[in-house]
């Protein structure tokens, strides 16, 4: 295969406010839609053979506006299930748990179908995605494979790709509406690009571009 391209969805109201967002299916903000459109030139010279997308609307819309075609939904690309911390900021959680850290402590159970996930739970999902990617790579030749998903999940996936633990995903800050790439050097897994985006001065003009949807 070529490279593994990671795309974090564009901005939402909760990514802007810092609220943990997993199953809450928020739309992109206007700025988030512009961020997604601005991915088009960043992907223009890539030969993408397979695109896997989270089932959540913010990821699907980002893929659409970025001009990615023939996408396939993969439920394992869903964001970290935050359980009882859904919609809550880290600062709010630390008012009662000053030392809380998502990367080591995981989440607290939430209602119904949202029990929350531990780092190892998310790691297992990331490993399943990487297994699918490796199988697809055998069919894709030298084409890239793209994943359109969410910050915390993609950070765990990056750690696992590099042979690190899920907890070490904390090392890889990931911004909204960005492209990152994973590849190899001398047969070893490496990060080849991280948090690529158009400069803000150019991003402001994106709303004048034709909608790629």
Residues in the chain: 213
| Cα angle, residue 6 at apex, residues 35 and 104 outer, rounded to 5° | 105
CB 142 within 8 A of CB 3: no
CA distance 171 to 164: 11
List residues with catalytic annotation: 9, 79
Alpha helices, DSSP H, located in the chain: 13-17, 30-37, 39-43, 57-65, 90-93, 102-105, 119-140, 151-161, 200-203
């Amino acid at each position: 295969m070529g490279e593994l391209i990671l795309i974090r969805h564009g901005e939402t109201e909760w990514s802007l406010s810092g609220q943990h967002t997993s199953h809450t299916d928020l739309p992109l903000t206007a700025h988030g839609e512009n961020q997604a459109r601005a991915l088009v030139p960043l992907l223009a010279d890539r030969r993408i053979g397979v695109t896997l997308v989270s089932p959540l609307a913010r990821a699907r819309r980002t893929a659409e506006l970025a001009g990615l075609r023939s996408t396939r939904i993969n439920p394992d690309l869903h964001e970290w299930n935050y359980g009882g911390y859904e919609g809550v900021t880290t600062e709010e959680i630390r008012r009662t748990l000053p030392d809380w850290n998502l990367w080591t402590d995981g989440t607290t159970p939430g209602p119904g179908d949202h029990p929350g996930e531990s780092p190892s739970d998310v790691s297992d999902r990331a490993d399943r995605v990487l297994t699918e990617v490796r199988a697809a790579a055998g069919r894709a030749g030298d084409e890239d494979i793209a994943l359109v998903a969410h910050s915390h999940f993609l950070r765990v996936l990056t750690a696992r790709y590099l042979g690190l633990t899920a907890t070490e995903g904390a090392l890889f800050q990931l911004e909204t509406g960005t492209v990152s790439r994973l590849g190899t050097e001398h047969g070893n897994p490496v990060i080849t690009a991280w948090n690529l985006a158009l400069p803000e001065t150019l991003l402001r003009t994106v709303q004048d571009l034709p909608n790629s949807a």
